[in-house]
Structure 1
Amino acid sequence: MQKLGPQMENPAWIIQVWAAFMISITFTSVGIANLPVDGWIKGFMGMGLTFSVGSTFSLAKTSRDAYEAKRLAARIDEARVERLLTDHHPLK
């Protein structure tokens, strides 16, 4: 049976992902704050940014959970097959 351990991300990758996230949110927020429009339009765009970030996190979590559920189901199926094979002795 194949041993599937937890996936470990490279620390450099984690730093890059968080840096890209923080830079994108910062620059987008600064851009919205400096728009030459009324405050309610800035507020609407800020709410849109907040909703987009929140829904992105939810989508990423849902995708990860679905992947892990499939991975767990595959491990369970593999364990069942392995048990059937070990219980079946042709000379018995």
Structure 2
Amino acid sequence: MATNQNANPKNSAAFYTQAIVSFGVALFAVLVAVYYLPADPWIKAFFALSICYLVTSSFTLAKVIRDRQEDDMIFSRLDQARLEKALATHDPYKNVAS
């Protein structure tokens, strides 16, 4: 039983580049906005630190989600292999009593 699922889908180079550029532009825009914010330096520092925390926690969340999806895919492939092996070795005409 052959499946047509792509077990390891890859992103295109253009999509990868677009994601990196988009992240860079967004981070730059927020940091410029904090820099020109009409507030005391300690408030700007608080916002900058909050942005750094948000960025790092976003990367961590994305990694955790990706790892969970990869684990689920591996377990699914193992279950499929076990099922295929059981179906291949099963003989419905074998006498159970003997």
1:2-54 deviation digits (Å, cap 9, x = unpaired): 36432210111111111110000001001101111111100000011001100
* Superposition RMSD in Å: 1.3
Q: Structure 1 CA distance, aligned partners of 2:6 and 2:74?
A: 9
Q: Which runs of 5+ in 1 are unaligned?
A: none
- In structure 1, distance between residues paired with 2:67 and 2:86: 29
Q: What is the TM-score with the length of structure 1 in the denominator?
A: 0.92
Instruction: Tell me, in whole angstroms, the C-alpha distance in 2 between the residues paired with 1:4 and 1:88.
Output: 28
Corresponding residue for residue 24 of structure 2? 22
Instruction: Flag structure 2 segments of 5+ consecutive residues without an equivalent.
Output: none
Between the two structures, name the one with larger relative contact order (CA 8 Å, sep ≥ 6). Answer: 1
Tell me which residue corresponds to 1:55.
57
Larger radius of gyration: 2
Q: Distance in 2 between matches of 1:6 and 1:84?
A: 25
Match of residue 81 from structure 2: 79
Identity of aligned residues (%): 32
In structure 2, give the amino acid aligned to 1:42. K
TM-score by length of 2: 0.87
Report how far residue 88 of structure 1 moved. 1.1
